[in-house]
Structure 1
Amino acid sequence: MTLRSDLDFSVWNPDSDVSNYKLVEPDDFVVGLRSFQHGISHSTVRGLVSPAYTVLRAAPEAEPRFYKYYFRSSLLISQLANITQGIRQGQAIDMEAFQNLEIPLPPLAEQRRIADFLDIETRRMDGLRAASQRQSALLEERLTEQLRQLTTSAGHPEMRATGVPWMPDMAASWRLHKIGRSFRTGSGTTPRSSDTAYFDGEHAWVNTGDLRDSWVTEPSKTVTSKALADYPTLRVYPPGSLVVAMYGATTGRVGILGVPACVNQACCVLSGTGAVDPEFAFFWFRAHRLEILGLASGGGQPNISQDLVRSLRIPAPAKDEQHRIVRTAREWQDRIAAQRRLQERRAGLLAERRQALITAAVTGQFDVTTASGRNVTGGVAV
């Protein structure tokens, strides 16, 4: 559960009537409004919840820590799937059916042994998963720094000032190019969503969610020729164009079009016309995303405008050297991506094994008094 003080938004008026609210004590369980999606939360604090929630309190013969794990076991999750009401986002547990579920009740001492075992083993697995996630983040930081050096100096020993505070130096033999003079810039729009004749057509339509710092070859949405005819700002850009997310959750992310595509209004498209190769600019934008976001306007979710993008200055050598740099950047990116996939796969396997270990322990598939966490039946331990 999450304390209200830990949220970054207000969800309750302190002057409102709370007489119907329910008291939650430490070690209680709370079934949420959309209980099937959000599960059953174990409380570690004393507080109040809305009358719409259901509060469960353990009987004297039940160890709350044991049931904290049991309520997360694959067995119970499969049972919940059979007693839910509603569809999609409205799914919720049928509380009457839930109350009639039969759940295991081992002797209290055994419940505590199982909980103690799982406390230790899940903490160990969580530590390993956190280490994998930290390693993945460090790999991304390493790539960013490599790309920053590659797109500002590429190892040239002689440097000169750029006059740009957040990018102070570049190779002395390179030139500083203004984006607005080296690229044609444009954007797009979103057709009226209520008109189905505009969507699921023959033209790829890129949204900011499609921008993942890579080539964009299969955008998630398409629009029709009718949409292009009715919306003059909706034009098709050629493959090789650079796309920058201007606002939304992915602000600052970039992509290179691998197919002809139009875009929505949150995307800025750069089509190469000058001395800077779009893919070279792609890696430069990747390397300096945080600095560019620092120039953005807005509050919690800053925005980048086309004017801001056009005003940016990018250092670049001659085209032949840009192409060599792009080849090197691709190799680095592919190498780091492969290493990150290994870390993500490791974290995923740990999550699966954690779930299997919990299920095996709370359903009595092995004796935790003799299990070391390394030779658990069924191959579920790590």
Structure 2
Amino acid sequence: MGWLAGAPSTWRLMPAKASFSERREPNLPDDVHLTPSQIHGVLPQAEYMSRTGNSVVQNIQGQDNMKHVDPDDFIIHLRSFQGGIERSTYKGKVSTAYTVLKPSKIVVPDYFRWLLKSDGYVQELRTTTNQLRDGQSIKFRDFAKISLPVPLPEEQRAIAEYLDRETARIDTLIEEQQRLIEMLGERRVATVAETLDGSQWTQVRRLVDHDRPMTYGILQCGEPVEGGVVYIGPSDIKGEGLSPHRDALRTTAPEIASAYKRSVLKSGDVVVSIGPAYGKVAVVSDDLTGANLTQDTVRIALRPDLVDTRFFVWALLSRQTAEYWDYQIMGATFRRLNLGTLARTPIPLPALQEQRRIAAYLDERTAKIDSLIAETERFIELARERRSALITAAVTGQVDVREAA
């Protein structure tokens, strides 16, 4: 019985081909072009493009060579092994690349909409064939291999109504928590911006060690070399000032690195990404002394008598700096920083002791906000797990929906 081991003994277990047949009729002249997706369900193509902002018209097969779809048909589409079986509420047409399922009289579409998306069913569907590429869709012959539970119509309707009600409650709760995360994120940004206001300002270039000027790194790093020189690129910078782990970095040949002695790193240097993923900041750890960096990153060797490194990191990550950079690159074909823009970036510069106090305060305040965000994200994860488990339990008869009503 597998995923249906807990189903009531009164439920019928029937081959899928008894519940659905494959619809093969060609499209009708007045059929609207439908687009199925896991996020939006089945929508007319124009509405789908409006929701997704996609201006590319999907017309792979041609408008005159498509499959007809009736309301309450189900469409097996891409990523079907991840739940890509969607119920249509529209009359229309889809590409012949999709499989259209016509429900029989024993099927209550509202119930099977939940059943065919449940984790238990999706996992069972994956056992019908091996070594499918990610995103490849199944065919009717694979779909037909799995037996489906078929409660009485009135019980199917009761389960569907129960799941509509209970998942709506969970979804509302998740939306509330997602709004909380957005508010916390906004509060975090505002905390940094407000704390940095009210100081005298200078430019980044005035805070740099004259003996080690700002510079970008290696133009062409080549293939990784075992035992070579490690280097930092934009993708290696993960956190707010956190140093990349040496073991995770790529390497370049010593011969290549030797031509870029100007960009050799030392402990405490600040590295800023300037490429398409601009604005990420890292502080070099002790074990990365002697490493190098790429052309999409810039080394900033600070003067410790003028600026605290942690304070400088917060300044670069502030809303004020983000707005300055956005203004400087406004209208550019390729949105990226350059060395000159970074060098001219305004930075607040209170007294050194005050910088340290501000940095410590921001570390503490943002850590508290980050902890609240992490707790909320975990709550959302648990709610989604609860939602998924509830669906599987209900569609397999492990929940008495009459008692739960």
TM-score range normalised by the length of the shorter chain: 0.7 to 0.9
**Residues 293 and 302 of structure 1 are in contact (CA less than 8 Å); yes or no, is this contact kept in structure 2?**
no
Asked if 1:224 is matched to 2:254, the reply is: no
How has the CA–CA distance of structure 1 residues 124 and 280 changed in structure 2, closer, same or farther, with 3 Å as cutoff? same
The aligned residue for residue 341 of structure 2 is 308
The aligned residue for residue 15 of structure 2 is none
How has the CA–CA distance of structure 1 residues 88 and 145 changed in structure 2, closer, same or farther, with 3 Å as cutoff? same
Distance 2:136 2:229 in 1: 35
Provide, for residues 77-131 of structure 1, a one-character-per-residue CA deviation record: whole Å limited to 9, x for no partner.
Answer: 2112222444553654354222221011111111111111111111111111111
The CA deviation at 1:371 is 1.3
SS of equivalent residue, structure 1 residue 268: strand
* Alignment partner of 1:344 out of 377, 389, 394: 377
Asked if 1:291 is matched to 2:323, the reply is: yes
The CA deviation at 1:329 is 0.7
TM-score scaled to structure 2, two decimals?
0.75
Provide, for residues 190-229 of structure 1, a one-character-per-residue CA deviation record: whole Å limited to 9, x for no partner.
Answer: 7567x4x447967253433633335134378422351673
Asked if 1:242 is matched to 2:270, the reply is: yes
Which has the higher mean CA deviation after the structures are superposed, 126-135 or 197-206?
A: 197-206
Paired residue type of 1:223: R
How has the CA–CA distance of structure 1 residues 109 and 5 changed in structure 2, closer, same or farther, with 3 Å as cutoff? same
Structure 2: any 5+ residue segments left out of the alignment? 1-36, 41-47
Paired residue type of 2:318: A
Distance 2:229 2:152 in 1: 64
How has the CA–CA distance of structure 1 residues 221 and 117 changed in structure 2, closer, same or farther, with 3 Å as cutoff? same
Distance 1:121 1:60 in 2: 27
The aligned residue for residue 101 of structure 2 is 56
**Residues 246 and 303 of structure 1 are in contact (CA less than 8 Å); yes or no, is this contact kept in structure 2?**
yes
Cα RMSD of the aligned pairs, angstroms, is 3.1
Structure 1: any 5+ residue segments left out of the alignment? 153-169, 373-382
The CA deviation at 1:320 is 1.6
Distance 1:298 1:365 in 2: 58
The aligned residue for residue 359 of structure 1 is 392
Paired residue type of 2:386: R
- How many residues align? The count is 349
How has the CA–CA distance of structure 1 residues 355 and 305 changed in structure 2, closer, same or farther, with 3 Å as cutoff? same
Paired residue type of 1:240: G
Which has the higher mean CA deviation after the structures are superposed, 345-354 or 181-190?
A: 181-190
Paired residue type of 1:285: L
The aligned residue for residue 163 of structure 1 is none
How has the CA–CA distance of structure 1 residues 371 and 267 changed in structure 2, closer, same or farther, with 3 Å as cutoff? farther
How has the CA–CA distance of structure 1 residues 141 and 72 changed in structure 2, closer, same or farther, with 3 Å as cutoff? same
Distance 1:97 1:247 in 2: 46
Distance 2:175 2:400 in 1: 28
**Residues 191 and 231 of structure 1 are in contact (CA less than 8 Å); yes or no, is this contact kept in structure 2?**
no
The CA deviation at 1:68 is 1.9
How has the CA–CA distance of structure 1 residues 11 and 181 changed in structure 2, closer, same or farther, with 3 Å as cutoff? same
Asked if 1:371 is matched to 2:404, the reply is: yes
Paired residue type of 2:323: E
Asked if 1:33 is matched to 2:78, the reply is: yes
Distance 1:47 1:320 in 2: 69
The CA deviation at 1:313 is 0.8
SS of equivalent residue, structure 1 residue 127: helix
How has the CA–CA distance of structure 1 residues 276 and 56 changed in structure 2, closer, same or farther, with 3 Å as cutoff? farther
Asked if 1:118 is matched to 2:163, the reply is: yes
How has the CA–CA distance of structure 1 residues 10 and 331 changed in structure 2, closer, same or farther, with 3 Å as cutoff? same
The CA deviation at 1:351 is 0.5
Provide, for residues 142-200 of structure 1, a one-character-per-residue CA deviation record: whole Å limited to 9, x for no partner.
Answer: 11111111122xxxxxxxxxxxxxxxxx23xxx3211122234333357567x4x4479
The CA deviation at 1:42 is 3.4
The CA deviation at 1:264 is 3.8
Paired residue type of 2:54: F
State which structure, 1 or 2, has the greater radius of gyration over its C-alpha atoms: 2
**Residues 243 and 257 of structure 1 are in contact (CA less than 8 Å); yes or no, is this contact kept in structure 2?**
yes
The aligned residue for residue 322 of structure 1 is 355
Distance 1:93 1:220 in 2: 41
Paired residue type of 2:157: R
Distance 1:225 1:14 in 2: 45
How has the CA–CA distance of structure 1 residues 16 and 86 changed in structure 2, closer, same or farther, with 3 Å as cutoff? closer
* Alignment partner of 1:109 out of 154, 169, 172: 154
The aligned residue for residue 283 of structure 2 is 256
Identity of aligned residues (%): 29
Asked if 1:179 is matched to 2:204, the reply is: yes
How has the CA–CA distance of structure 1 residues 122 and 16 changed in structure 2, closer, same or farther, with 3 Å as cutoff? closer
How has the CA–CA distance of structure 1 residues 327 and 21 changed in structure 2, closer, same or farther, with 3 Å as cutoff? same
**Residues 33 and 52 of structure 1 are in contact (CA less than 8 Å); yes or no, is this contact kept in structure 2?**
no
How has the CA–CA distance of structure 1 residues 348 and 223 changed in structure 2, closer, same or farther, with 3 Å as cutoff? same
The aligned residue for residue 215 of structure 1 is 242
Distance 1:101 1:123 in 2: 29
**Residues 144 and 286 of structure 1 are in contact (CA less than 8 Å); yes or no, is this contact kept in structure 2?**
no
Distance 1:284 1:45 in 2: 53
Distance 1:104 1:7 in 2: 35
The aligned residue for residue 278 of structure 1 is 309
SS of equivalent residue, structure 1 residue 30: strand
Paired residue type of 1:118: L
